[in-house]
Amino acid sequence: MNYYNYIKALHLIFVITWFAGLFYIPRLFIYHIEASKKGSPEKEILTKQFQLMTKRLWYIITWPSAVLAILFAIWLLILSPVLLQQGWMHIKLGFVLLLIGYHLRNHVIFKQLQRNEIRYSSNYMRVWNEGATLILFAIVFLVILKSTINWIFGVVGIIVLGVLLMLGIKLYKRIRQKNPDA
């Protein structure tokens, strides 16, 4: 058990780098989608660059971080199986499954954009980009608070955060309409 904290530290490091990738990949999707609306040769140059950037981010940082974060999490649960008897952990694992689903959906979008298949608007991607933020808030508050009453307040907080994020996106859209370079 002396190495438990080392495994926990490695788990947290890879969770952080996984989230870094999940925060940035939709942003690159937005840039790629917006580049597809530009004229030649700018469109081709930017598209090629964004495809390269997303490929490197996705395969060099995000996927390895996801796999390692999950492996270290499983190792922690094996070392401390009592965690699986706690209700908050079941809820946390539910959010982790949601995060994995979000990751896999980003993979589908990534593959589409690698083939220059534009299926979403940049505004849609701006909203999609907040998915990782909401999941992160939910997991962190759940792990820190752990009790049911505090968790209920946490859910209300997540909903409020989601509403604030959507309002921020709408405000940013209005600003961009007035000033396209913003």
Burial zone of 72 (CB within 10 Å; 0-12 exposed, 13-18 middle, 19+ buried): buried
- Does the annotation flag 38 for ligand binding? no
What is the CA 35 to chain-centroid distance, rounded?
22
Q: What is the pLDDT of residue 166?
A: 78
Sketch the domain layout of the chain as residue ranges.
Answer: 4-178
Residue 181 phi, psi dihedral angles, 5° rounding = -85, 0
Q: What is the pLDDT of residue 162?
A: 77
Q: How many residues in total does the chain contain?
A: 182
Average pLDDT (101-112) is: 98
Mapped onto helix, strand or coil, the DSSP state of residue 180 is: coil
Q: What is the pLDDT of residues 127-159, one digit of tens each?
A: 899 899 989 988 888 888 876 556 667 677 777
- Does the annotation flag 92 for ligand binding? yes
Among the listed residues 116, 119, 164, the one whose alpha carbon sits nearest the alpha carbon of residue 137: 164
Q: Is the dihedral of CA 20, 21, 26, 28 positive or negative?
A: positive
pTM, 2 dp? 0.84
Measured between its terminal Cα atoms, the distance across the chain in Å is: 52
Q: What is the pLDDT of residue 158?
A: 73
Q: Are 131 and 162 in contact (CB under 8 A)?
A: no
Q: How far is residue 101's CA from residue 95's CA, in Å, rounded to a whole number?
A: 10
Q: What is the pLDDT of residues 74-105, one digit of tens each?
A: 999 999 999 999 988 998 999 999 999 999 99
